[in-house]
Amino acid sequence: MEHVSVPAPDELVRRHASPGASLIAVLHAIQDETGFVPPDVVAPLARAFNLSRAEVHGVLTYYHHFRTHPPARVAVALCRAEACRSMGTETLARHIEGRTGCRFDASREAGDGQTHGQAHEVELESVYCLGQCALSPSLTINGVLHVKVTPEKFDALLEQARAGAASTPERTKENV
Amino acid sequence: MTTRVFVPRDSSALALGADAIASAIVQEAARRGVAVELVRNGSRGLLWLEPLVEVQTPQGRIGYGNVEASDVASLFEAGFLTGGAHPRSVGLVEEIPYLKRQQRLTFARLGLTDPLSIDDYVAHGGLAGLKAALGMSPEAACQTVLDSGLRGRGGAAFPAGIKWLTVREAKASQKYIVCNADEGDSGTFSDRLAMEGDPFALIEGMIIAGIATGATRGYLYVRSEYPHSIDVLRAAIDKARAAGWLGEQVLGSEHRFELEVAKGAGSYVCGEETALLESLEGKRGIVRAKPPVPALSGLFGQPTVVNNVITLATVPIIFARGAQFYRDFGMGRSRGTLPFQLAGNIKHGGLVELAFGVTLRELVDTFGGGTASGRPVRAVQVGGPLGTYLPESQWDIPLDYEAYAAVGAVVGHGGLVVHDDTSNLAELAQYAMHFCAVESCGKCTPCRIGSTRGVEVIARIRNGDTSEKQVQLLRDLCDTMVSGSLCAMGGMTPYPVLSALDHFPEDFGLRPAAPKAAAA
């Protein structure tokens, strides 16, 4: 079992809730630091923004990007939208499920709290368009984009990611 | 002599290993002791050739397509620095018919420049529009946009000049320019190419919009699925500020303008302008009822221009070349050019900017080269997930807002998703309803409930209950969604569904409609 150490909720809010920042920007900042938004930041965030906890919870859970549990060691986000469908993303999805033994969107369907603070090995998420529609199918693994993905290419990427060889999401920043 | 070598750095090229290619070129050049100046340009939009490496020669820029890092040694061996022959060579890039036959106005600089070089930008005609705008009255600037015939390129095609004039005439202490960069439609990537390949054009367009309308603050709302675009825009804004384009005195004038990037959080409906404004305010992205329109009561209740990336990135050339120049392109009430995006199952996918009036057949066959799979094209979805599926009988209709509307189709944001003859349109129709159920903001019932009921009824039909009763139920449901939804999410999801049902009934297990059967 992998334990995830996260700063205390009050500390996270103090660090990121700068005056004038929007709630969404603060949630991004928290998730960028910890990999997810711990549900117990809702109360201190509500106090900081002078909102009800329901309002903060509403924003946190409305947006697909925000997650309330730690990401798996290998997080796969596969595009399931039209352009990728025309190039076999559904066949690829079945291959990925068979290969990893996981189901797409299982954590979302199970709701929050099903992970008990435990980070899973692999997590599969459906996303709708990564903007690479001329190079379908596309997916990200731990935030790194891959295009023209075949089952064979996926297997190789999965091996790399499992071996910890996957590049970090910071990669894109180096290119600017 | 130093040779300039171009390796693109947009996210498509990066996903195909452009960084590894760039470093291999630098290493190999050092090993051989030859001087190379590496330029990380934007993509040319010829995405099927990515990564497309180019070399500056006296004849022009010579390209090498689909390069892999392992090709680099052999490229040097073949003398690619002087345009030497190599299996990867595609010759002079400007002469590639796909590019040569385009009319690039909005994307005039795409791939030519380093996207983050202000010097490159100005050397290629940048900033001329802003300088022209500073020399005219705000009213004349709004009139220029109106005269150009520019309509909102996000999909709704509302005349940009009318929106600008409305904001101009509104009385308020604070007005805003908001760029809608929440490009969530599958099959579209022109916003992304503009942001990653020519960010200064978008920034220049937003500054002009500010001057014309009296808005002093701008926001770029970019979807979180585009982290690379966000990084490029933030770097470009910093450079623009350092160069005096932004701040208290835009280029030394009396105009003030500030600009920042706001990151979305994964919500398709936030591409709808009022949901986007809610999200910018830090709330759930729930659609607002209109009126009031955002031009009168938008961000934080203030008059706000909300325009799509392509609309704003087109503004500089209109000011640089004049409204008449832009207006001379296009047909009917669809003036200027549209950057079409060839996507899905297509051999030559990429960006094709052309004047309105081109046909689907020309785009898919002549430019696209048919399907990637080599099988016959069966259907093309135009205008994103809320656009219709067009069968072959409709491929000769000119791409023009009104001509498409006349057959119940939409040009939208100009995205084309091609499907070959193995596609199942009933499955795609069910997916359209499923997508609506996943992304509905939940405010109005036809969309929130209707989408889930739509998935169910299409599933029943696909499972063999092809009775007239089920088909009528689906049509009634679509009618309710079209007429009763607050925004295009629920209101247009029936477009792909009904077009699939009408043109491809056999995929639902239904007999083709009577008139069609009689004709056959």
Query: Same structural domain for residues B242 and B376?
Result: no
CATH code for the domain of B393: 3.10.20.600
* pLDDT, position A3: 52
Q: How far does A147 lie from chain B, in Å, by closest CA?
A: 6
B226-238 tens-digit pLDDT: 999 999 999 999 9
Digit-coded pLDDT (tens) for B271-300: 999 999 999 999 999 999 999 999 999 999
C-alpha–C-alpha distance, residues B210 and B145, integer Å: 13
Assess whether B300 and B213 both reside in one domain. yes
Task: Say what the pLDDT of residue A20 is.
Answer: 85
Residue range A158-171: mean pLDDT, rounded: 68
How far is residue B335 from each of residues A118, B324, B329, B414, B493, measured CA to CA in Å? 56, 10, 6, 14, 27
**DSSP letter (8 states) at residue B289:** P
The reply to whether residue A28 touches residue B183, judged by beta carbons under 8 angstroms, is: no
Per the domain annotation, does B441 fall within a domain? yes
Within this chain, do residues B184 and B206 fall inside the same structural domain, yes or no?
A: yes
Mutation site for A-interface testing, chosen from B39, B68, B186, B270 by largest number of A Cβ within 10 Å: B186
Check A132 against B350: CB less than 8 A apart. no
CATH no. for residue B67? 3.40.30.10
Structural domain spans, chain A:
9-62, 74-164
Among the listed residues B415, B369, B351, B366, the one whose alpha carbon sits nearest the alpha carbon of residue B44: B351
Residue to mutate among B14, B284, B495, with most A CBs inside 10 A, is B284
**Confidence check: pLDDT of A172 > 50:** no
Count CA within 13 A, CB hemisphere, residue B31: 10
Q: What integer pLDDT is reported at residue B1 of this predicted model? A: 78
> In this complex, do A136 and B343 lie within 8 Å of one another by their Cβ atoms?
yes
| Topology of the domain covering A74-164 | Glutaredoxin (3.40.30)
Task: Say if residue B85 is in the same domain as residue B126.
Answer: no
Span B64-82, average pLDDT: 97
| Position B111 in a domain | no
Query: Does residue B480 sit in the same domain as residue B411?
Result: no
**pLDDT reading at B151 higher than 50:** yes
Mean pLDDT of chain B: 97
* pTM for this entry: 0.95
Task: Identify the band that residue B451 occupies on the pLDDT scale cut at 50, 70 and 90.
Answer: very high
Which residue, B312, B327, B342, sits at the end of a domain? B327
Regarding whether B264 and B408 lie in a shared domain, the answer is no
Q: Which residues of A touch B271 (CB under 8 A)?
A: none
* 8 Å CB contact of A135 and B349: yes
Mean per-residue pLDDT for B82-102? 98
Q: Give domain status of residue B129, yes or no.
A: yes
B497 belongs to a structural domain: yes
- For residue B395, give Cα distances in angstroms to A56, B186, B493, B518: 48, 20, 21, 22
State whether B243 and B319 are in the same domain: yes
pLDDT of residue B333: 97
Across the interface, which of B185, B267, B438 has its CB nearest the CB of A62? B267
Q: In chain B, what percentage of residues exceed pLDDT 90?
A: 98
CATH number, residue B515 = 1.20.1440.230
Q: Mind listing the pLDDT tens digit for each residue in A33-65?
A: 999 999 999 999 999 999 999 999 999 999 999
> B392 lies in which domain range?
330-420
- Give contacts of A85 with chain B, Cβ < 8 Å: 428, 431
Q: How confident is the model at residue B519 (pLDDT cuts 50, 70, 90)?
A: very low
What's the alpha-carbon Rg for chain B, to the nearest Å? 24
Whichever domain contains B198, its CATH number is 3.40.50.11540
What's the rounded mean pLDDT across residues A104-112?
72
Contacts A–B by Cβ distance under 8 A: 156
Q: Collect all residues of chain B within an 8 Å Cβ-Cβ radius of residue A125.
A: none
Report the relative pairing of strands B3-6 and B36-39 from DSSP bridges: parallel
pLDDT at A107: 75
Structure tokens at B488: 């295009």
Residues from chain A contacting residue B284 (CB–CB below 8 Å): 58-59, 62-63
Q: Quick one: B134 and B250 in the same domain?
A: yes
pLDDT, position A169: 44
B198 touching A (Cβ < 8 Å)? no
Both tokens of B426, joined, read 């009933």
Q: What is the pLDDT of residue A170?
A: 41
Number of domains in chain B: 4
At A113 the pLDDT is 43
